[in-house]
Structure formats: structure tokens, C-alpha cells
Structure 1
Amino acid sequence: MESAMEAVAWERMYAFFGAGGPVVLILAVMSVVALTIVLVKLWQFRALRINDLDAARAALSRYRSGRVREGLVRLEDSPNPLSQALARALRGVERGLPEDKVREEVHRYCRHALEGLRGGLRPLEVIGSLAPLLGLFGTVLGMIEAFRQLELAGNRVDPSVLSGGIWEALLTTAVGLAVAIPVVALLNWLERRVERLAHRMDDVVTQVFTEDLTELPESAEEESHEPARLRAAAPGR
């Protein structure tokens, strides 16, 4: 029973590729390549834990408290490029290097890390752009063949011949769109994740060389409360 079902499936697949011609075969290969690239990128993002911000936040908090060494220890086990960029910035600060040299080295590392994350996205962009064009090309070839068969038939025109040829021609366009739509969607999603990481890296590294102005220093808070205490202590009029 299973062998019969497999035989039917193979026959349908053979008929499908036979109807679409070499264009459908090329699109099938492109879809396999695109799927492989997407899976590799997902594995890469997961291995680098690009969404894990806990280590960077904890290290930055320790650095602002004056505990640079504790912050570096917190970043040692994190493969996240954001954490590694912050670790380089903290090492430069700990060694007392000039800010411009530290920034230049950190930016160099960030560019290198982001380039590695963008690897493979260009082929996805090419596949997403070429797939619908290949589908349209296959449709044009199929329409040419359908009308050629119509011309050869002469006065014995069979509408089924023309309709069958058009159906086979439009099949390539459908396959091309079926390949392009998910590829373009996944490409934009992957690019957005890389762009978000790049923004976070720039933001965190900049915080190393700036002051946190979200809270008032303790001396300022005491001064702000002092007039209120004086008014409370003053005798009533």
C-alpha cells in the first residue's frame, strides 16, 4: 500500500516538473538553497544568542557603579556580539586608553561582527528577485509553445490544446511567486534582526563614554529636599 502511494507521489511530481519544464526545476533548486541559507542563519543567530541582553545590561550596571572588573567577568561567557563589543570597550577604559582609540577598535569589531551576520543574506535577496522573473520567463516560453501548437493545428483547432498549454505556462509564474514571497519575507525579518543588533551595539558602547542623566546624583537630591525641610521646620506665621 505504501509503495503504491509512493509511486503515485513520484508520478505526480514527475508530471509537475514535466509540465513546468526546466524553469520549475531551477526554481525548485533555488527554493532548496534559500531554505538552507535560512536554516543556517537561524542556527547562527541562536548560537550567538543575539537576543540575550542580560549580560550586557548587568555589565553596564556594574561599570556605572565603578566595578569594571566585575562587569568584564559577567561578559566573558556570552557569545553575543553586543556583549563582546561592550567587553572591548570596558577593557579599553580599564587600561586607561584614549577614548578615540577605544571607540575605533570597538567600531572595527562591530563592523566585522555585523558583516558575519549579514553573510548569506545577499543570495537570499538575489533569489527573491529572480524567482518571479524566472516564473514569468517560463510563462512566456509556455505561451509561445502553446500558440505554436495552435498554428500547427491549422483549421483543426482544439481548444483543449490551447487551454492546456496556457495552464502549463502559468504554472511557472505560480511557482516563481511561491518561492519569492516567503524568501523576501524571511530576508526582511533577518535583516531587521541584524539592524536591531547594530543599533543596540552602538547604543551600549556609547553609554560607556557618557553619563547616565536619568537620575539625579545623591547630592542634588539632598539639596532639592533641603528647602522643604526648612519650610517644615519654620514657625508658622
Structure 2
Amino acid sequence: MISFDLSELGVSGPILLLLGLLSLASVSVLATRILALWGVGKGRVERDEMLEKLARGEVVAVPEKGPADRVLNRAAALLEKGVSVEVLTSEMEQHGNAESHVLYRGVRFLELVGMIAPLLGLLGTVLGMIQSFRSLELAEGAANASILAGGIWQALLTTAAGLVVAIPALVGAALLTARAEVGATQIERTMVGALTSARRRMQK
């Protein structure tokens, strides 16, 4: 088993520490957002039933398990106040856009981690290589190959660490985007259904 002390890695040590902090942050964001988006696509049948009741003029409300449910309840509340279709459309667009924006929270951060982690790893490797060759120069030929090799593998460690941090972050960003798109589709579907129900309701 390979063990090392960050203080022994010279300039590469702080970069490894920073990569470790980025890894912890990205894992925390990913876990939090996965839990938040877990049931984002559920409740479609219940919402369809509520939309039918809404079109018949009944007072409806669904348990707010996700953003689409909140959009539907908002539409029902506005219709109970007797707003016009134009006002309802404007309100639904604003509310739907706000809910959709929340769905993508955390994705940009994970994408940012996925982009900068390999660059930080490369920076650590370059700085470590500079340090190793500088030590070789100062030794004026007295340093042996094993000492140089030890400095090089320590420097390359930051590149590997950067990739280890970046790959899960990018995979997590893709997973969150897929779940957010499911939720956004449900919001859009609910908005269209609410407007259709409103027009049917006003025609009666």
C-alpha cells in the first residue's frame, strides 16, 4: 500500500488538498440533488385526474411532491380567483420557469469541477516536475535516478487525482441533467394541461 504525507509533495501538496476539498464538495452536491430530484417524474396520473376536475370547474389540490405539483396548485389557485387565460398564461410561464431553474441547481457546479480538476492536476504535475528538475540541477549531478523518479511520480500523482475528481463530477452532472429534464418536461406538460383546462372551464 502506498502512503505519503502531503508535506512531502512540495508544491503538489496544496493542489492535492484543494482537489480533495473539491471532491468532497462535488459528492455532497451530487448526493443532495439526487435526493431532491428522486421523485421528480412521479404523480403524472394524479395530475391528469386533477386537470380533468379543474376543467369541470371543481376545486382541486394535489400533494406537492414535486415542482409539477406546485405548478398545478398555483394554476388551480389562480383559476379560483377568476383570472383570465392571458394572466394565467403569464403566471404559469413565470412560475414554471422558476421551478425549472431550481431543477438544474448544482449542475453547473459539477460541470465546473469537471473542467477545473484536470487542469489543477496538470498544474500540480508541472510544478512538481519543475521542482524535481530544479533539485537535480542544484545537486550538480550528485542525485541518482531513484531520487528523480520519486519526484516525478509524486508530481504525476496530481494529474491522476484531478482525473479521479473530474470523472465522477461530470458523470454526476449528466445524471442530474437527465433527471432535471424529466422534471422540466413534467412542468411543461402540466402548464399546457392547466391552460387547456382553463379554456375548457371558461367555455362552459
Bin of the TM-score, shorter chain as denominator length: 0.7 to 0.9
Q: Contact between 1:17 and 1:25, CA under 8 Å: does it hold in 2?
A: no
Identity of aligned residues (%): 31
Q: Contact between 1:17 and 1:24, CA under 8 Å: does it hold in 2?
A: no
Q: Contact between 1:81 and 1:113, CA under 8 Å: does it hold in 2?
A: yes
Change (3 A) 1:200 1:112: same
CA RMSD of aligned residues (A): 2.4
| Residue number in structure 2 paired with 1:220 | none
| Residue number in structure 2 paired with 1:146 | 132
TM-score, length-scaled by structure 2: 0.83
| Structure 2 stretches lacking a partner, 5+ long | 198-204
Distance 2:125 2:181 in 1: 37
Distance 2:20 2:76 in 1: 49
TM-score, length-scaled by structure 1: 0.72
- Tell me if 1:31 matches 2:23: yes
Q: Contact between 1:55 and 1:78, CA under 8 Å: does it hold in 2?
A: no
User: Could you give the per-residue CA deviations for residues 163-210 of structure 1, whole angstroms, max 9, x where no partner exists?
Assistant: 111111110000000000000110121122112211221122113334
Rg (Cα) greater in structure: 1
Greater relative CO (CA pairs within 8 A, separation 6+):
2
- Tell me if 1:174 matches 2:166: no
Distance 1:132 1:31 in 2: 12
| Residue number in structure 2 paired with 1:158 | 144
Which of the residues 110, 115, 122 maps onto 2:96? 110
Distance 2:153 2:52 in 1: 64
User: Could you give the per-residue CA deviations for residues 130-181 of structure 1, whole angstroms, max 9, x where no partner exists?
Assistant: 1111000000001101111221232334111221111111100000000000
- Tell me if 1:124 matches 2:110: yes
| Structure 1 stretches lacking a partner, 5+ long | 1-8, 212-237
User: Could you give the per-residue CA deviations for residues 102-149 of structure 1, whole angstroms, max 9, x where no partner exists?
Assistant: 011112112222233333333222222111110000000011011112
User: Could you give the per-residue CA deviations for residues 40-75 of structure 1, whole angstroms, max 9, x where no partner exists?
Assistant: 2123234xx3121232133234445x2632xx13x1
2:190 maps to a residue whose letter is V
Alignment of 1:27-66 (within 5 A): 27-46=19-38, 49-53=39-43, 54-63=45-54, 66=56
Distance 1:17 1:29 in 2: 17
Aligned length: 194
1:42 maps to a residue whose letter is I
Change (3 A) 1:18 1:106: farther
| Residue number in structure 2 paired with 1:202 | 188
Change (3 A) 1:51 1:133: same
Which of the residues 102, 119, 130 maps onto 1:133? 119
Q: Contact between 1:68 and 1:94, CA under 8 Å: does it hold in 2?
A: no
Change (3 A) 1:158 1:194: same
